Structure 1
Amino acid sequence: MDRTCQASFECSVTSEHHPDETTSSTVSHATTTVGQSTCQGELRLCLVGALATDDEALGAAQKFKLSVVTSVDGLDYVYDATYWTYFVLADFDSAEYEELHKHTSRLIGKPALLDMAVGGESNKGTAVVGVAAVVAQPQLVLHTRAVYCHVMKSCVMVFTGFRKRNEVARLLKQIHFMGGSVKNEMSEKVTHLIAVTATGEKYQYAVTFGVPVMTHHWVNTAWAHRDDQGASAKKPEIMEQYKLGLFHNLRVVPVGFNADDTEVMKRLLGDSRGTCTTLSDPAVTHVVLDDGNVKEKPPDYPSKAYVVKGEWFWASIQMNACANESMYMFEDTNEKPAASGVVSPRGGSTTGSIGGVGGSIASSGGERGGGGLFSPATPRSRSRRRKRLRETMQQLASDDSPCTPGSQLTLPASKRRSSVADLISYMSGDGSFLEDSQHTPVCPLPSIKKTPLSPPNIDLRLLTYRQRVFHELVKTECNYVSILDTINKVIKEPLEDDSQPGGPMLDSQELRYIFGNLPPIHDVHTKMRNDFLYLSHNWKPDASIGQIVLNYSDDLEKAYPPFVNYFENVKEMLAKICHERPRFHAFLKIAQSKPECGRQSFQELLIRPVQRLPSMSLLLCDILKHTDKSHSDHSALSKALDKIKSVTMFINDNKRKTEAKLKLF
């Protein structure tokens, strides 16, 4: 049975009462609770077995200026109440350890003793002339359990995903012997998670809070180095070697992807310790569907497997950790949608709708009934209702563009305006809930001087052929500028963000090389689009299309050559970076899946500037063909077309010269 004693000594003592807490103090007296009964005595070290004749161990023990004794098995000192004895052994996998451990836990391995003996001597010999050197004394750490070495000192671990009790028991014992500790649940004190697979709640907690996730081989390797003085499992190179792969032990089935993407996914899975398998594999953990090509779940997928969208895979690669599956679950398009409606402040659901002739407002609870859109349920509900009504008025009053698909507001403009009038009349009537608040001004109709950012919604059959082709020119110009906007907002700006998870994917030089020549093109076409739109919304028979092009011809000639000249080099650079940096490749795949990109790859979007001027030239040629020679725009169109062709030829000549120079290097 363990006993508690009080010892007097001059070295620094650390008393460890908890597996994950250490309290250090430099004192002349220290008290450590080890058992239930107490007695007092001097602290003593006992070298057991082979260490009795080990000069290195004896020298280390004497540095603590304590009483040091030797023994064949240590049993003769276990119940000596005169001393509080710590037993030092050469090996914990020995008969001496097994026998002593039946009587006491005050057991220390030789590596731990040597480590504590030299712990404060690293500052020796660093004294400055005229200044007394401060040398820390050896620090004796008093543990409440047997500690063989300090390879895992201060490591606090949690296990997850293990099925075999014997394996966990063995790892737990080794961790304790190496000075570490184990907890049952994740908390802020946990320093490492030891996992079998890259999934589960504990894994997601570790990823979220930056806790390193390790394989059990990390513990095995640390134990293999238990006799190496100064060894530490927390060294970066060791941690990196035994870090859990982001798809560790996951068996993934890609479905609906093209051959190139499937090959890339297979390679990345292998590099990340995962396996690419088939649906016939009963151990499948994840079925990854390309939701752009696949609309239904495979009928024969394993019931226990996660069925996720392709974005889950690429997001995992980008963040270098397995993404949370719940955020990327695949849903069949033929599944019944959840019941729609407005959630009332009291938790009920209403089916309020706004629309219909005269702008009628329907609610399941009536205009003022409980639970309806206008029910005064909470003190803040009035302001929320007023905000919704103001937004409704603005939507009803908007004449800029036709309603988006799925919208209920599909009435002609005249009826929409009458709906606004009816709604305002309702709001200002007797008993309105707006009467007790400050008057809310009605938003005015949009100014007719403001040009919408889309072509007018008109019946092309009513237009002349010249107008129809111009309408197509405006439409393609709007689409082109939209693509340039997408490149800038969806791809360029996120890549420039230094705070992105995992750090920057491209350095500043690479960013300039890829995107540096796009801003001038974006700028000139944005201005040209705005002029085209203004003309299309304010069309006149004598409108001059050619003059708009001529106004920007010089800017086009300056903007395009730098981009076109190095386009092929940029393509090669992108292909190389995608192959070498999986995070960048994954980032582009995620961007491609966004609606703004229309499922087009970055390379497909990036080639649009190369194609724009030839496309524009064809449309201008068609407009010129259907413009009468007597028309005032005929001359301007001819000059504009010649200028565009001239710019194209200049770009091609410039490109050939640039390629010739590059070949010299």
Structure 2
Amino acid sequence: MDETNVCLAESQMTSIGNINTGPDDSVCSPHLEAVRSRICLVGVPASDSRISEAAQAFGVPVVSSETGAEFLNDGSWDTVFVLEEFSGPVYDAIHRSEQRILGPTALQQYADKGEGLPSNSRPLYSLAMSGLVICFTGFRKKDELNQMITLIHNMGGSIRRDMVSKVTHLIANACGGDKYQYAVTFRVPVMGEKWVHAMWEKRNEITISAASEEMMCYKLKPFHGARVCFCGFPDDERQHMTEVLQENGGTATELEDPTCTHVVVDESAVQNIPEKAPLRAPIVKAEWFWVSVQNEGCADEKEYLFEDYLETMLSPNGRCGSQTPNASSSTRARKRKRLREAMCRLIQNESPALHKRRSSVSDAGLLSISGSFLDCTVSPEKQPDESESVANDTPRKIQSPRQQVFMELVQTESNYVGILCTIMSMFKTPLEDLSESEGQLLNNTELKIIFGNLPPIFEVHKQMLEELCWAASHWKEDFSIGQVFLKYICGAVAGT
């Protein structure tokens, strides 16, 4: 097989089955160098003097045709076809022949840059989304998703399945889900699907950019798609909140509405959970509503549950005093559980699939479903669970007082290492990744000030926890706990 055929075969193989996509995939320079290049202006572009002038700027032969059919099977030329319409029988015939296709806008943009013809493997109409990396969430209709993916590719954008640090924009059709909360937390713009279609309508504007302030009017509003019931508020306050809700994309509804998505209660007036509230609608405090408005993104409902508030009030430390001694601890336990689950979903290593470059559009349905790919990946730092299993293996009633105190010490150290792990994984690493991009939140100096001493402290305590866990599983009454601390004290002091 000659060099040209090998290159074509490799290009076809890379277009099948991969998930993540980019604008410059499957570039095969040996094939391009083996034949001469030319530009074919098809249809309307052939009679446009500006497009003809841009084509001449590349220093290659320029031909014109009504359909381009006579230039499709000429193997002695590498022909770049320029079409005004990216649909219809003429476009389909050229696209099926696996020829390079440019739009008039992309041709003029590359000519203005003074660069050569691009080695694009996908039809490229403009560079309006060049450099953008986009992820989807919440879309269930495959046809709609396929259409948006095609338009993004035609404007030079890339697609990623998961919310990784390289993602520049999230496209959502509702406020909620793990990808959405990640985007809100790390200030990734959350856009509506109208953003893509609006950019396509402006595809002939040479200077337009999808990331410009002009296009930020298509950001998804905080309560987009939400149907909210306000419970317990005075009439004037409820009216004001309804107006704010509508301005931010939501719709006010009644408690009996089965399509209600959120119930917002005035905790100062409501003492019990509303009985008629829809089962699937989270019941949240008013704080959730105002935080969402202030942050321009729907806050995580789990952090503002009215049920947790009630249990806090009923706990011994709450204002209502004497009921349910374990209510406060059970509330904290649920919060810790939700935090662990959220971290499992958000803090995970990148899959090898993230480094594959092209994808079949038939896989597009997989790109959108929020959370379906966020398996609870266990962190390498398993010491906290390990210590818990050690403590549970030894019934407390047969432990000596000294061993019981030691087990509490192991649990405390386990919790501390878990907190350090969370800071490292959920804050330090993402912020460092952002510092290398244009959307950095903190510069390297600020990151060093905040996190500079954290890695050595984390490593010291992780090693110390391993030794404490070993001692717990091989417990002896004469075990010297102090020796473990003395062994690691130098490293701990050096870290601080």
TM-score by length of 2: 0.60
1:140 to 108, 117, 121: 117
Question: Residue 5 of structure 1 contacts residue 38 of structure 1 at CA under 8 Å; is this kept in 2?
Answer: no
Residues 226-265 of structure 1: pairs in structure 2 closer than 5 A: 226-239=203-216, 241-265=217-241
Structure-1 residue corresponding to 2:35: 41
User: What does residue 66 of structure 1 align with?
Assistant: 60
Aligned match for 2:397, one of 343, 362, 365: 365
Cα shift at 1:296: 2.2
Q: 1:312 to 1:152 in 2, by over 3 A?
A: same
Paired residues of 2:228 and 2:264 also in contact (CA < 8 A): yes
- Aligned mates of 1:251, 1:379 — CA distance in 2: 43
Equivalent of residue 146 in structure 2, options 151, 169, 188:
169
Does 2:117 correspond to 1:94? no
Amino acid of the structure 2 residue aligned with 1:145 = R
Q: Which residue of structure 2 lines up, in the alignment, with residue 185 of structure 1? A: 162
Structure 1 residue 207 displacement after superposition: 0.9
State which of 290, 300, 318 in structure 1 corresponds to 2:276: 300
Supply the distance in 1 between the matched residues of 2:174 and 2:160 (Cα, whole angstroms). Answer: 19
1:117 alignment counterpart: 111
Q: Which residue of 1 aligns with 2:185?
A: 208
Report the Cα distance in structure 2 between the residues aligned to 1:95 and 1:436, rounded to whole angstroms.
79
Contact residue 130 and residue 157 of structure 2 kept, 8 A: yes
Distance 1:216 1:375 in 2: 53
What does 1:10-89 align with in structure 2 at a 5 Å threshold?
19-20=21-22, 32-33=27-28, 40-89=34-83
Is 1:116–1:138's contact at 8 Å kept on the other side of the alignment? yes
Between Structure 1 and Structure 2, the one with more helix by share is: 2
SS of the equivalent of 1:199 reads coil
| Separation in 1, partners of 2:408, 2:139 | 54
Instruction: Provide the rounded CA distance (Å) in 2 between the counterparts of 1:219 and 1:109.
Output: 17
Q: Does the aligned pair in 1 maintain the 2:23–2:156 contact within 8 Å?
A: no
Match of 2:246 among 270, 284, 288: 270
Of 190-199 and 340-349, the range deviating more from structure 2: 340-349
SS in 2 for 1:293: coil
Consecutive unaligned residues of structure 2, counting only runs of 5 or more, are 7-14, 315-322, 334-383, 417-476, 484-496
Matching residue of 2:197: 220
Specify the SS of the correspondent of 1:296: coil
3-state SS of paired residue (1:141): coil
Deviation at 1:364, TM superposition (A): 5.2
Structure 1 letter corresponding to 2:22: D
Gap regions ≥5 residues in structure 1: 7-16, 24-30, 120-136, 351-362, 385-431, 439-665
- TM superposition shift of 1:263: 2.2
Match of 2:388 in 1: 347
1:323 aligns with 2:325: no
Quick one: distance in 2 between partners of 1:309 and 1:280? 19
Distance 1:34 1:301, change over 3 A: farther
> Considering only CA atoms, is the larger Rg found in Structure 1 or Structure 2?
1
Residues 375, 171 of structure 1: alpha-carbon distance in 2 compared, 3 angstrom cutoff: closer
How far apart are the structure 2 equivalents of 1:379 and 1:210? 35
Match of 1:225, as an amino acid? Answer: K
User: 262, 266, 270: which is aligned to 1:286?
Assistant: 262
CA distance in 2 between counterparts of 1:281 and 1:138 reads 59
Q: Tell me if the contact between 1:222 and 1:233 (Cα under 8 Å) persists in the aligned partners.
A: yes
By how many angstroms is 1:146 displaced?
0.5
| 8 Å Cα contact 1:309/1:330 also seen in 2 | yes
**Offset at residue 278 of structure 1 (A):** 0.9
Q: Distance in 2 between matches of 1:50 and 1:185?
A: 40
Percent identity, please: 36
Give yes or no for contact 2:23–2:158 (8 Å, CA) kept in 1: no
Distance 1:177 1:435 in 2: 68
The SS at the match of 2:276 is coil
1:437 positional shift = 6.0
Distance 1:21 1:189, change over 3 A: farther
Task: Quote how far apart the aligned CAs of 1:284 are.
Answer: 1.0
1:34 CA displacement: 8.5
- 1:347 to partner: Cα distance: 2.3
Structure 1 61/155 Cα, relative in aligned 2: closer, same or farther at 3 Å?
A: same
Corresponding residue SS for 1:81? coil
Q: Could you say what secondary structure the match of 2:152 adopts?
A: helix
Equivalent residue pairs, number: 342
Q: Any idea what SS the aligned residue of 1:70 has?
A: strand
* Alpha-carbon distance in 1 for matches of 2:283, 2:412: 41
Q: Which moved more, 1:51-60 or 1:246-255?
A: 51-60
**One-letter code aligned to 2:91:** Y
SS in 1 for 2:228: strand
| Residues 99-130 of structure 1: CA deviation (Å, up to 9, x unaligned) | 111111411111111111112xxxxxxxxxxx
In the alignment, is the contact (CA less than 8 A) between 2:81 and 2:99 conserved in 1?
no
- Paired with 2:245 and 2:27, the residues of 1 have a C-alpha distance of 51
Within a 5 Å distance, the mapping from 1:483-502 to structure 2 comes to none
Describe the shift of the 1:296–1:87 C-alpha distance in structure 2 as closer, same or farther (beyond 3 A): same
Mapped contact 2:136–2:171 kept (Cα < 8 A): yes
SS in 2 for 1:372: helix
Summarize deviations over 1:619-661 as a string: whole Å, max 9, x none.
xxxxxxxxxxxxxxxxxxxxxxxxxxxxxxxxxxxxxxxxxxx
Describe the shift of the 1:98–1:345 C-alpha distance in structure 2 as closer, same or farther (beyond 3 A): closer
Q: Structure 2 CA distance, aligned partners of 1:145 and 1:300?
A: 53
**Separation of aligned partners in 1, 2:170 and 2:154:** 18
CA distance change for structure 1 residues 275 and 105 in 2, over 3 Å: closer, same or farther? Answer: farther
SS of match in other structure, 1:234 = coil
For 1:369 and 1:167, locate their aligned partners in 2 and report how far apart those are by CA, in whole Å.
Answer: 65
Q: Which has the higher contact order (CA 8 A, sep 6+)?
A: 2
Deviations 1:440-486 (A, max 9, x none): xxxxxxxxxxxxxxxxxxxxxxxxxxxxxxxxxxxxxxxxxxxxxxx
Q: 1:84 to 1:257 in 2, by over 3 A?
A: same
**Residues in 1 aligned to 2:407 and 2:106: alpha-carbon distance in whole angstroms:** 72
How many Å separate the matches in 2 of 1:437 and 1:95?
80
SS at match of 1:43: strand
Q: Distance in 1 between matches of 2:241 and 2:135?
A: 31
Q: Which residue of 1 aligns with 2:448?
A: none
Provide the alpha-carbon RMSD of the alignment. 4.0
- After the TM superposition, which residues 511-660 of structure 1 pair with which residues of structure 2 at under 5 Å, given as runs? none
Amino acid at match of 1:277: T
Any idea what SS the aligned residue of 1:264 has?
helix
Compared CA separation, residues 176 and 21, structure 1 to 2 (3 A): closer
Give the secondary structure class of the aligned counterpart of 2:118: strand
